[in-house]
């Protein structure tokens, strides 16, 4: 088990390195290949009407004149040690982890992202709890009575949930519960530890909207998994032992049926932690997703790079957790 | 199998003294499907006493497994199942009617008074729980004891079924066991509550021959020790010859022949039984002749052939007069004491065919 | 079937008639050829067939014509050598490892005639397949599953060789090796004198016509989305062969041959029962008139009454087409019924190799004896009479097989020698080889 864990961690680190290299390459190597000069790149840091001297200074200070692989190495080093930039007389310290400076605002990338992380975390984790509870419950009940009114109704709703886009359901939710009946008034994000009640109240609508999409998917997955598991031989054995139907379904059925869901869940949560772009836009939440959208519209390469790497980090991390969890749940995985 | 009333016509005996331990009468298990009503078991009757072993033999789709699940009440364990099955007839376990009984009452009998061993122990054991936990669970459903006591009992049972180092292996998961060990664990789990009726559904089909021999021995020994009634369900006539006192041959959801195993192996009465014997290559005989297969395929359980269900495949279908085999369903009749078969041919005719035509070729 | 074997050895040359219609192998579709025997390869097959037409012929490495020319002669030789002791040739070859394989391929007939020796259709020497086991961070190899570990045997034209053993004995792996669906890690496999042990898929193509496989699972081995006609005609498309009278007519003839109706051509597998599906699998295997058919558990998934139908069908087809069979099964009764000679395997080794009667009446290896005594017999009278040998425990792991004789951990006759020395497979009487230090039913004392 220990060796399995180490192996997974090492492969996760390697994966992250590859992702960072590829992303870095896309941002700094591809434009070069396409004909962009380092001057043009440096110009982006300065803004309008730069003098050639400014450009040369920026190039030197940021190391833009070095080969791309060296820049990548500096970038990597910066993440772990921080970087000192010299702009004329004053030296600016980019703290660990240093993802560089924004082209536009000249603010360090990481503190910006970090300040937005709680919003995204609250949104993603809260929504995940909602969709896990509602999705799995619906799925199990449907599976226990396939063909019943509940089953057909909930699967119909689930189909709608899967097919309706976020910006549509989100807009409808806002229109109904904020403007028509102001149950959840529009307000800015309130940190959890400042006022838990307000924190929750701000987020209920985004949670539910986001969870609607996912619960639909999870209800269908749970239902299918349960139906398959309930026809397994070991379920028949459990019944033959004289166990109550509740024990059979929960202890013997659900556990096996939910195991494959772990994989899907890890992937979904990882993706969301990297920023729920549309949800944050629709509900005007200043999370990582909104930050990403702004960075992309502004063509702010360092910010885009930072967000991309963060998203990749979360996905890799969640997958790592999933693999370990899977081994913990299914003893057969441990050996092979 | 000791009494002589064969079909549902006989009046049910009162429970208690004199009644057989397991009494199944005119059992019907039908499954409504989109294609039609699947008559998996269609009027089956048999009895079984404690200490005796009944072998139920048939091919896939003959209804043998459906019968065993019906006795265990496993067609009606969940709400979902109850919606998809139609059952009628009587199943009496020690006088207690099971078919009409409250499902929860039957559940309390399951695992305690009647237990079951399944064909493939790998898929029949839960992959996520240790063998010990699964046995402990089976024990604690019916006994109000703490986990420690139950665990001791589990180790004791594993030891009894011949698993080496039971105190260590009790914490293994099923996939860490070999096939034979898994089936032993399965048997330990089934016997943990000293059931009076044990049903073994193809208990050795998934196992190698040498392991099969071990398991058959084990079942036989345990039966002697516990004195329980045993039903062995199999397609393998060799396995029933090893274990069974009585035999019941099923075809198309019905019994075509039943009686003491000795009598059936000595002089089988039904053409289908002859067919089964003729189809089997024998390890104990060196013959270079061809096998004598049964022509055609097993019948559809939705459109069971009229008359005798076996008539399209029976080489003697034209022997009885007036096209009886295709129009009238033959009832079980007693050929010799305790030996019944459902065939339109006269017993003398069947005896002649067996001794003159079939037996010499086997 | 031994009767049949004698009758049909004369007919063994029959498939050779089709040689003329065969074309050299095409390189383009060669990769697909490997799948010819595998399930559901029909999709690829289509592509394979198309590319085959445009591809350059590549007959250079495969003397197809030469091979087919020889194939008639061994059959005659076999007839000539019919009454010769069957075990001799294998022995002779063993003692003369110098006899070069290449020359055997070049001039097989004269040699056979001169020595009065039957030339085997398939010759297997030291066949080994180890599956590596890796462990740790660097996935270094820590051991190997010794699925097949150095086995020798021959298959003669027209005979049925039965291979029997319990799960994990390596019999199925062996079947995949001799049909080259898997590549051996050691030893050699020769088919009609040609070494096919490590041939590339492209060069294996001509051989794939002559060697076909029948699989156990009649449900899994047929692609559910293809019609029966499509499935049975797959081999023609794969090999780019146009049978006389067209593919459809030939397929319908094949369907009839295996006892199905030609009208089944446009039906789908799910419309058929298990037994019928197995017939379809057999029809597909026979499409290219193979010389050798390897059947892995051909009847074990079928009901008893259907099992007999398929066994009889295979028997008839062998008579009619002069086929050679290697039948792999765990069921000793079936093996006894179908085989002329039998190989008993245990943990990747051959423990006994003998002709049918000799094996079943006087088994020499304790394992064989135990195996046979364990088979339940449909006769209640025998329940009390027979003395059954109950083996203890399970088959040990093929990863760490016991030293010396692999059976010693379960053997009641095991001694010190069995732990230290591996018993060689030696001939103790005509046509009866056994690998045991303390054989049962041995003809004389001190033979081993």
Q: Which residue is closest to C310 within chain B, CA to CA?
A: B293
Inter-helix orientation angle B147-160/B179-191, to 10°? 130
At residue C158, the pLDDT reads 93
Size of interface A-B (CB pairs under 8 A): 84
Q: Which residue is closest to C135 within chain A, CA to CA?
A: A3
In chain C, how many H helices and how many E strands? 18, 12
Could you give the C-alpha distances from B344 to A51, B41, B44, B349, C356, in angstroms and in order? 111, 21, 18, 10, 41
Tens of pLDDT, residue by residue over C253-263, are 999 989 888 88
Q: Which residue is closest to B125 within chain A, CA to CA?
A: A234
Parallel, antiparallel, or unpaired for β C140-155 and C122-135? antiparallel
Q: Do A145 and B137 touch (CB under 8 A)?
A: no
Q: Do C136 and A10 touch (CB under 8 A)?
A: no
Write out the two tokens for C375.
Answer: 């088979």
Closest CA to C344 of C210, C211, C439, C278: C439
> What subunits touch chain C, counting only 3 or more CB pairs under 8 A?
A, B
Distance from CA of B57 to the nearest CA of C (A): 11
The complex's ipTM works out to 0.88
At residue B354, the pLDDT reads 93
At residue B79, the pLDDT reads 80
> What subunits touch chain B, counting only 3 or more CB pairs under 8 A?
A, C
Backbone angles phi, psi at A86, to 5 degrees: -110, 110
DSSP state of A332: H
At residue A88, the pLDDT reads 56
Query: Which A residues in the span 118-147 are in contact with C, Cβ-Cβ below 8 Å?
Result: none
**Higher-scoring residue by pLDDT: C382, C92:** C382
- CB contact at 8 A, C303 and C266: no
Is A94 in a helix, a strand, or coil?
Answer: strand
At residue A1, the pLDDT reads 66
Distance from CA of B240 to the nearest CA of A (A): 23
**Higher-scoring residue by pLDDT: A278, C322:** C322
Provide, as residue numbers in chain B, all residues whose Cβ is less than 8 Å from the Cβ of A243.
107, 111, 137, 141
Is A239 in a helix, a strand, or coil?
Answer: helix
Query: pLDDT tens per residue, chain A (336 residues)?
Result: 677 788 888 888 999 899 889 988 888 888 788 877 777 777 777 766 777 877 787 777 777 778 888 888 888 888 888 877 765 556 677 777 888 878 777 788 888 888 889 889 999 999 999 999 999 999 999 998 888 889 899 888 888 888 888 888 888 888 888 788 877 777 778 787 888 888 888 888 889 888 888 898 899 999 999 999 999 999 999 999 999 999 999 999 998 898 889 989 998 998 888 778 888 888 888 888 888 888 888 888 888 888 888 888 999 999 899 888 888 888 887 655
User: Mean pLDDT over residues B298-311, rounded?
Assistant: 91
At residue C115, the pLDDT reads 47
User: Mean pLDDT over residues B151-159, rounded?
Assistant: 95
For residues C186 and C149, what is the distance between their CA atoms, to the nearest angstrom? 9
* Strand stretches in C136-273, DSSP E: 140-155, 160-164, 186-191, 194-195, 211-214
Average pLDDT across chain C, whole number: 76
For residues C235 and C209, what is the distance between their CA atoms, to the nearest angstrom? 8
Tens of pLDDT, residue by residue over B246-272, are 999 999 999 999 999 999 999 999 999
Distance from CA of A19 to the nearest CA of C (A): 22
Neighbours of A187 (CB within 10 A): 11
Tens of pLDDT, residue by residue over C171-182, are 999 999 999 999
Provide, as residue numbers in chain B, all residues whose Cβ is less than 8 Å from the Cβ of C311.
281, 291, 293
Question: With 50 as the cut, is the pLDDT of residue C76 above it?
Answer: no
Tens of pLDDT, residue by residue over C102-136, are 333 333 333 344 445 678 999 999 999 999 887 76
Taking the CA atoms of chain A, what radius of gyration do you get in angstroms? 25
Largest CA distance in chain C: 69
Backbone angles phi, psi at C180, to 5 degrees: 60, 35
**Higher-scoring residue by pLDDT: A327, B165:** B165
Q: Which residue is closest to A1 within chain C, CA to CA?
A: C136
Beta bridge partners of C214: C295
| CATH superfamily entry for domain C165-181+199-210+290-434 | P-loop containing nucleotide triphosphate hydrolases (3.40.50.300)
**Is some CB atom of chain A closer than 8 A to the CB atom of B108?**
yes
* Strand stretches in A124-201, DSSP E: none
At residue B344, the pLDDT reads 94
For residues B232 and B225, what is the distance between their CA atoms, to the nearest angstrom? 17
For residues B126 and A241, what is the distance between their CA atoms, to the nearest angstrom? 12
Provide, as residue numbers in chain B, all residues whose Cβ is less than 8 Å from the Cβ of A244.
107, 141
Average pLDDT across chain B, whole number: 89
Distance from CA of C396 to the nearest CA of A (A): 18
Tens of pLDDT, residue by residue over C209-248, are 899 999 887 777 888 899 999 999 988 988 888 888 888 9
Backbone angles phi, psi at A231, to 5 degrees: -95, 5
**Is some CB atom of chain C closer than 8 A to the CB atom of A336?**
no
Nearest to B111 among A240, A256, A329 (CB): A240
Q: Which of A120-124, B166-170, C74-78, C298-302 has the highest mean pLDDT?
A: B166-170
**Is some CB atom of chain A closer than 8 A to the CB atom of B66?**
no
* Mutation to test the A interface, candidates B85, B123, B128, most A Cβ within 10 Å: B128
Tens of pLDDT, residue by residue over B226-238, are 899 999 999 999 9
At residue C67, the pLDDT reads 38
Write out the two tokens for A244.
Answer: 């109550």
**Is some CB atom of chain A closer than 8 A to the CB atom of C136?**
yes
Q: Which residues contact C422 (CB under 8 A, 6 or more apart)?
A: C403, C404, C405, C406, C435
Provide, as residue numbers in chain B, all residues whose Cβ is less than 8 Å from the Cβ of C167.
179, 208
At residue A181, the pLDDT reads 81
User: Mean pLDDT over residues C250-276, rounded?
Assistant: 89
Closest CA to B138 of B122, B120, B126: B126
- CB contact at 8 A, B86 and B32: yes
Question: With 50 as the cut, is the pLDDT of residue B40 above it?
Answer: yes
Distance from CA of B188 to the nearest CA of A (A): 12
* Mutation to test the C interface, candidates B53, B247, B268, B291, most C Cβ within 10 Å: B291
User: Mean pLDDT over residues C54-60, rounded?
Assistant: 38
Query: Which B residues in the span 137-176 are in contact with A, Cβ-Cβ below 8 Å?
Result: 137-138, 141-142, 173, 175-176
How many angstroms from the chain centroid is the CA of residue C201?
19
**Is some CB atom of chain A closer than 8 A to the CB atom of C137?**
yes
Q: Do B79 and A242 touch (CB under 8 A)?
A: no
Q: Which residues contact C58 (CB under 8 A, 6 or more apart)?
A: C24, C25, C26, C27, C30, C202
Distance from CA of A6 to the nearest CA of C (A): 8
Question: With 50 as the cut, is the pLDDT of residue B306 above it?
Answer: yes
Provide, as residue numbers in chain A, all residues whose Cβ is less than 8 Å from the Cβ of B124.
233-234, 236-237
Q: Which residue is closest to A252 within chain B, CA to CA?
A: B126
Question: With 80 as the cut, is the pLDDT of residue C383 above it?
Answer: no
For residues A5 and C263, what is the distance between their CA atoms, to the nearest angstrom? 59
At residue C237, the pLDDT reads 87
Question: With 90 as the cut, is the pLDDT of residue C70 above it?
Answer: no
Query: Which A residues in the span 1-30 are in contact with C, Cβ-Cβ below 8 Å?
Result: 3, 6-7, 10
* Mutation to test the C interface, candidates B283, B296, B310, B315, most C Cβ within 10 Å: B283
Q: Do C136 and A3 touch (CB under 8 A)?
A: yes
- CB contact at 8 A, A282 and B145: no
Provide, as residue numbers in chain B, all residues whose Cβ is less than 8 Å from the Cβ of A245.
77-79
Question: With 90 as the cut, is the pLDDT of residue B105 above it?
Answer: yes
Q: Which of A95-104, B333-342, C86-95, C217-226 has the highest mean pLDDT?
A: B333-342
Share of chain C above pLDDT 90, in %: 45
Q: Which residues contact B61 (CB under 8 A, 6 or more apart)?
A: B252, B298, B299, B301
* Mutation to test the B interface, candidates C1, C371, C380, most B Cβ within 10 Å: C380
Q: Which residue is closest to A330 within chain B, CA to CA?
A: B128
Backbone angles phi, psi at C121, to 5 degrees: -75, -40
Question: With 50 as the cut, is the pLDDT of residue B360 above it?
Answer: yes
């Amino acid at each position: 088990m220990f060796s399995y864990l180490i192996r997974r961690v090492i492969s996760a680190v390697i994966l992250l390195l590859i992702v960072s290299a590829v992303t870095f390459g896309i941002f700094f190597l591809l434009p070069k290949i396409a004909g962009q000069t380092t001057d043009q790149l440096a110009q982006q840091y300065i803004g309008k009407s730069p003098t050639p001297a400014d450009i040369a200074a920026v190039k030197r200070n940021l190391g833009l004149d070095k080969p791309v692989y060296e820049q990548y190495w500096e970038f990597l080093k910066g993440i772990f040690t921080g970087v000192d930039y010299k702009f004329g007389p004053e030296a600016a310290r980019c703290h660990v982890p240093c993802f560089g400076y924004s082209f536009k605002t000249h603010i360090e990338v990481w503190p910006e992202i970090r300040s937005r992380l709680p919003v995204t975390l609250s949104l993603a984790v809260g929504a995940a709890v909602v969709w896990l509870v509602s999705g799995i419950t619906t799925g199990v009940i449907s599976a226990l009575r396939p063909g019943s009114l509940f089953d057909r109704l909930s699967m119909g709703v689930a189909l709608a949930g899967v097919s309706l886009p976020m910006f549509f359901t989100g807009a409808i939710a806002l229109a109904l519960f904020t403007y028509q009946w102001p149950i959840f008034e529009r307000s800015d994000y309130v940190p959890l530890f400042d006022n838990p009640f307000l924190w929750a109240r701000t987020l209920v609508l985004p949670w539910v909207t986001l969870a609607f999409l996912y619960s639909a998917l999870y209800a269908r997955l749970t239902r299918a998994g349960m139906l398959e598991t309930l026809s397994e031989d070991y379920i028949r054995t459990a019944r033959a032992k004289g166990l109550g139907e509740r024990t059979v379904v929960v202890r013997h059925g659900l556990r096996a049926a939910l195991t494959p869901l772990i994989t899907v869940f890890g992937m979904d949560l990882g993706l969301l932690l990297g920023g729920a772009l549309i949800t944050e836009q629709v509900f005007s939440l200043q999370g990582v997703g909104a930050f990403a959208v702004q960075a992309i519209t502004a063509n702010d390469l360092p910010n885009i790079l930072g967000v991309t790497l963060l998203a990749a980090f979360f996905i890799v991390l969640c997958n790592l957790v999933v693999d370990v969890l899977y081994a913990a749940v299914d003893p057969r995985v441990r050996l092979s | 199998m000791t009494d002589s009333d064969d079909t549902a016509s006989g009046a049910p005996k009162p429970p208690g003294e004199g009644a057989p331990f397991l009494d199944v009468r005119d059992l019907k298990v039908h499954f409504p499907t989109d294609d039609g009503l699947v008559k998996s078991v269609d009027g089956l009757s048999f009895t079984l006493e404690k200490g005796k072993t009944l072998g139920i033999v048939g091919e896939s789709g003959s209804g043998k497994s459906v019968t065993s699940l019906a006795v265990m009440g496993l067609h009606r364990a969940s709400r979902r199942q109850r919606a998809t099955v139609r059952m009628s007839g009587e199943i009496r376990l020690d006088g207690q009617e099971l078919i009409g009984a409250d499902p929860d009452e039957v559940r309390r009998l399951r695992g305690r008074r009647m237990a079951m061993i399944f064909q493939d122990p790998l898929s029949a054991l839960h992959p996520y729980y240790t063998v010990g936990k699964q046995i402990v669970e089976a024990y604690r459903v019916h006994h109000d004891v703490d986990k420690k006591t139950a665990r001791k009992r589990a180790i004791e049972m594993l030891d009894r079924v011949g698993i080496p180092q039971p105190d260590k292996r009790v914490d293994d998961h099923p996939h860490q066991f070999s096939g034979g060990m898994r089936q032993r664990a399965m048997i330990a789990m089934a016997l943990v509550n000293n059931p009076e009726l044990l049903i073994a559904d193809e208990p050795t089909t998934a196992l190698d021959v040498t392991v099969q021999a071990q398991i058959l021995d084990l079942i036989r020994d345990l039966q002697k020790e516990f004195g329980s009634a045993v039903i062995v369900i199999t397609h393998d006539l060799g396995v029933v010859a090893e274990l069974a006192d009585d035999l019941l041959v099923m075809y198309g959801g019905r019994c075509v022949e039943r009686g003491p195993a000795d009598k059936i192996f000595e002089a089988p009465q039904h053409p289908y039984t002859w067919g089964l014997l003729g189809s089997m290559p024998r390890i104990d005989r060196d013959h270079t002749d061809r096998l004598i297969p049964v022509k055609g395929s097993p019948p559809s359980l939705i459109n069971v052939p009229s008359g005798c269900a076996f008539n399209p495949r029976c080489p003697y279908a034209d022997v009885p007069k007036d096209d009886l085999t295709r129009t009238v369903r033959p009832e079980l009749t007693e050929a010799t004491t305790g030996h019944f078969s459902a065939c339109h041919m006269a017993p003398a005719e069947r005896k002649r065919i067996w001794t003159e035509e079939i037996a010499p070729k086997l | 079937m031994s009767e049949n074997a004698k009758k049909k050895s004369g007919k063994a040359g029959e498939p050779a008639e089709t040689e003329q219609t065969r074309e050299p192998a095409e390189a383009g579709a060669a990769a697909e050829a490997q799948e010819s025997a595998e399930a559901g390869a029909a999709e690829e097959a289509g592509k394979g067939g198309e590319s085959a037409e445009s591809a350059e012929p590549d007959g250079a490495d495969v003397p197809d014509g030469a091979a087919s020319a020889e194939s008639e002669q061994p059959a005659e030789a076999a007839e000539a050598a019919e009454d010769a002791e069957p075990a001799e040739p294998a022995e002779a070859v063993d003692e003369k490892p110098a006899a070069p394989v290449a020359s055997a391929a070049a001039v097989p007939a004269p040699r056979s005639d001169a020595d009065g020796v039957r030339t085997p259709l398939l010759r297997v020497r030291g066949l080994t397949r180890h599956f590596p086991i890796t462990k740790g961070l660097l996935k270094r190899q820590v051991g190997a599953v010794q699925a097949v570990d150095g086995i020798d045997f021959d298959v003669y034209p027209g005979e049925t060789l039965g291979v029997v053993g319990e799960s994990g004995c390596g019999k199925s792996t062996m079947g995949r090796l001799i049909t080259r669906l898997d590549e051996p890690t050691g030893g050699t496999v020769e088919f009609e004198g040609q070494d096919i042990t490590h041939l590339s898929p492209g060069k294996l193509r001509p051989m794939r016509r002559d060697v076909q496989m029948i699989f156990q699972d009649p449900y899994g081995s047929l692609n559910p989305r293809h019609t029966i006609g499509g499935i049975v005609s797959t081999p023609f498309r794969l090999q780019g062969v146009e049978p006389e009278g067209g593919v459809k007519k030939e397929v319908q003839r094949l369907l009839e041959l295996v006892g199905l109706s030609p009208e089944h051509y446009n039906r789908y597998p799910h419309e058929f029962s298990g037994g019928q599906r197995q017939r379809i699998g057999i029809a597909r295997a026979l499409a290219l008139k193979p010389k050798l058919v390897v059947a892995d558990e051909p009847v074990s998934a079928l009901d008893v009454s259907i099992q007999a139908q398929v066994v009889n069908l295979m028997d008839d087809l062998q008579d009619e087409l002069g086929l050679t069979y290697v039948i792999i099964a765990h069921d000793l009764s079936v093996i006894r019924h179908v085989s002329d000679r039998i190989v008993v395997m245990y943990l990747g080794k051959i423990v006994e190799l003998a002709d049918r009667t000799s094996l079943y009446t006087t088994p020499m290896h304790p394992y064989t004896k135990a195996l046979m005594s364990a088979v339940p017999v449909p006769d209640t009278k025998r329940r009390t009479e027979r003395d059954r040998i109950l083996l203890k425990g399970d088959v040990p792991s093929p990863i760490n097989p016991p030293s010396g004789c692999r059976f010693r951990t379960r053997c009641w006759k095991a001694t010190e020698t069995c732990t230290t020395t591996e018993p060689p497979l030696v001939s103790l009487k005509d046509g009866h080889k056994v690998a045991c230090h303390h054989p049962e039913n041995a003809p004389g004392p001190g033979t081993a």
